[in-house]
């Protein structure tokens, strides 16, 4: 923490956080990208994690810690906002700004999955999440954005890097293991396994326009 000049930090609940200024990549991106290109880097990674709003509407520069959650969006079990339309906006904004092909990685939903009496795992909430995000990516492509690839996070259940939990499940494939490290490690196909396979085989033709609450179609869990 001492490595950061204090003018680049803000205090919230007695902890330091980076302000919007930090190294000010937002204002120096052209210079920074040129320097990275001189090192022969061929790609740049950015994260789109939280959809936020500025309550006063008069902020000149974005600052996550002065913003609030969007009350019109649904959230996951772990209170992450679900905003596929926001992904489309972000893709348009990034492409307009950088004019470079975009590759989407690590898009997914952490959720609690339940095994039914017949052994099935009916994760319609995950299907809705991916349908709506992939559909909006298709809309961004129609807008003219050059999206060259997409990967999910992740195809098989794994321990969450963010919370250290196994019950926070991401995959299309269930792994029999709990938070205490107990289980057989048996793999089981979820309903989303078959759905996503059909999306791949149909080259996206299986996707449907979102027509549920808030335009996201993902159940608030």
Catalytic residues: 106
Q: Are 68 and 55 in contact (CB under 8 A)?
A: yes
φ, ψ of residue 11 in degrees (nearest 5): -105, 130
Per the structure block, which two tokens stand in for 28?
């120096």
Number of H helices, E strands in the chain: 4, 10
Q: Are 123 and 168 in contact (CB under 8 A)?
A: no
- Distance, CA of 73 to CA of 52 (rounded, Å): 10
- Distance, CA of 66 to CA of 134 (rounded, Å): 30
- Distance, CA of 24 to CA of 18 (rounded, Å): 10
Helix (H) or strand (E) holding 17: strand 15-18
User: Who contacts 172 (Cβ-Cβ below 8 Å, separation ≥6)?
Assistant: 126, 152, 155, 156, 189, 190, 192, 193, 196
Q: Are 152 and 90 in contact (CB under 8 A)?
A: no
């Amino acid at each position: 923490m001492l490595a950061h000049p204090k003018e680049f930090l803000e205090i919230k609940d007695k902890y330091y956080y980076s302000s919007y200024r930090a190294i000010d990549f937002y204002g120096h991106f052209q210079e920074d990208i040129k320097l990275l290109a001189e090192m022969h880097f061929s790609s740049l990674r950015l994260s789109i994690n939280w959809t936020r709003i500025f309550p006063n509407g008069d902020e000149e520069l974005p600052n996550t810690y002065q913003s609030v959650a969007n009350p019109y969006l649904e959230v996951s079990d772990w209170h992450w906002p679900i905003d596929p339309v926001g992904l489309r906006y972000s893709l348009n904004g990034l492409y307009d700004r950088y004019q470079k092909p975009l590759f989407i990685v690590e898009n997914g939903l952490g959720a609690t999955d339940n095994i039914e009496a017949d052994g099935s795992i009916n994760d319609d909430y995950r299907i809705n999440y991916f349908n709506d995000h992939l559909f909006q990516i298709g809309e961004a492509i129609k807008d003219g954005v050059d999206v060259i690839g997409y990967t999910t996070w992740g195809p098989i259940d794994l321990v969450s890097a963010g919370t250290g939990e196994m019950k926070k499940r991401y995959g299309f494939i269930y792994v029999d293991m709990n938070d205490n490290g107990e289980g057989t490690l048996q793999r089981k196909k979820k309903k989303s396994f078959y759905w996503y396979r059909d999306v791949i085989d149909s080259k996206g033709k299986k996707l449907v326009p979102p027509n549920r609450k808030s335009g996201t179609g993902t159940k608030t869990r």
